Chain A
Amino acid sequence: QVQLVESGGGVVQPGRSLRLSCAASGFIFSNYAMHWVRQAPGKGLEWVAVISYDGRYKNYADSVKGRLTISRDESKNTLYLEMDSLRSEDTAVYYCARDPRGSGWFSVFEYWGQGTPVTVSS
């Protein structure tokens, strides 16, 4: 069955960096677009970024553009989110989610990981 397992979250100071990982199993990773979605404490859901099945297409929410970078490693069946210049407003649980298709366009979030919490605080 599809499994997505996030890791790498933690407490980090403002302005510092963090890398999140999402290990995928139970499906052919290279066939599907992947997303990051986050949820601030007590708040709703916010889409963060998408990467197409082949890594050629990426898109980001304006709130993270230029600071967060999505990538994937097919050899490791792993999705990444490189987070730089972190701000307090980046504090959230970060979920990776699988797209039903490969392009990343017209996407819903079909399968979700359990999430990894990130706290940005001095």
Chain B
Amino acid sequence: DIQMTQSPSTLSAFVGDRVTITCRASQSISTWLAWYQQKPGKAPKLLMQKASSLESGVPSRFSGSGSGTEFTLTISRLHPDDFATYYCQQYNSFPYTFGQGTKLDIK
């Protein structure tokens, strides 16, 4: 199985800050990587696929990059609505696997 490791596990930031979350795969997954946002008690929401392709309706302050084994999710200027837990997911091969999550909370 491909292991996905996110860092950091928790991140505290202010509204307006720029933040970056890193996701590393245990083997190359090309750009078969997605990012999700999950708020407490809610289902995850797909933000991005193919490492950098933003889903319709997702604000442009979200961006993604990377290929192979290292990927990043950047939020350019944090809004209050962005405080949530973020997961990466590889879909290069079965079983599809997720990172352990990065909880982004307000400082």
Where the two chains meet, the residues of A that have a C-beta atom closer than 8 Å to any C-beta of B are 44-47, 59, 61-62, 95, 106-110, 112-115
Main secondary structure of the interface of A (DSSP, over half): loop
B46 touching A44 by the CB < 8 A rule? no
Give the residue among A47, A62, A115 with the most B Cβ atoms within 10 A: A47
B43 touching A113 by the CB < 8 A rule? yes
Main secondary structure of the interface of B (DSSP, over half): loop
Partner of A95, one of B43, B87, B89: B43
Where the two chains meet, the residues of B that have a C-beta atom closer than 8 Å to any C-beta of A are 1, 32, 34, 36, 38, 42-46, 49, 87, 89, 91-92, 94-101
Partner of B95, one of A61, A110, A112: A61
Partner of A112, one of B32, B44, B89, B100: B44
Partner of A59, one of B46, B89, B94: B94
Contacts of A44 in B (CB 8 A): 87, 98-101
29 of the cross-chain contacts (CB-CB < 8 Å) are: A44-B98, A44-B99, A44-B100, A45-B36, A45-B44, A45-B87, A45-B89, A45-B101, A47-B89, A47-B96, A59-B94, A59-B95, A62-B1, A62-B95, A95-B43, A95-B44, A106-B91, A106-B92, A107-B91, A108-B46, A108-B49, A108-B91, A109-B34, A109-B36, A109-B46, A109-B89, A110-B46, A114-B42, A114-B43
